[in-house]
Amino acid sequence: MKQISTRFSMAVHTLSLIAVSPKDCTGDFIASSVNTNPVVIRKIMGMLKKAGLVDVRPGVGGASLLKDPDRITLLDIYRAVNVTEENQLFRIHDKPNFACPVGRNIEEVLQAELQDAQSVMERRLAQTTLGQLIPKFT
């Protein structure tokens, strides 16, 4: 099974750094803290900017949050970095054997269950804000 992209945790890490140390938040500083390539951070920052969560100052460097951390939910971040393909956390395997009763019906049987599971997870992410996490980092 393919794991959820690490972009989500990197995005939470990035936004938390910006909230705690906005003046220090160059791409290199964030990449050093996340321990990844600055190119990866630039891509994530672009996604966060497109979602209206951050302002990035090219050239001089630095970044700032466009919303109060108490108004940014984990769901906002999750959605901003396109963690799942086609908004589907779970995918059904390709080309099951339709000659088999399980293979023929697996997608229909599982789809409602998987959608419910994704909805529960998204509701939970919507209950936690970046502002609630920040004190735990300092």
Copy the structure tokens of residue 24.
């220090």
Task: Give residue 4's pLDDT band: very low, low, confident or very high (50, 70, 90).
Answer: low
Average pLDDT over residues 98-102: 89
Q: Give the whole-angstrom CA distance, residue 137 versus residue 13.
A: 10
Residues 104-113 pLDDT 10s: 888 888 888 8
pTM: 0.82
| pLDDT of residue 101 exceeding 50 | yes
* Domain segments of the chain as ranges: 7-137
Q: Give the whole-angstrom CA distance, residue 29 versus residue 17.
A: 9
Q: How far is CA 53 from CA 42, 67, 95, 108, 130, in A?
A: 14, 6, 39, 37, 11
| pLDDT of residue 85 exceeding 70 | no
Domain 7-137: which CATH class?
A: mainly alpha
Residues 28-45 pLDDT 10s: 889 999 999 999 999 999
Q: Give the whole-angstrom CA distance, residue 39 versus residue 18.
A: 17
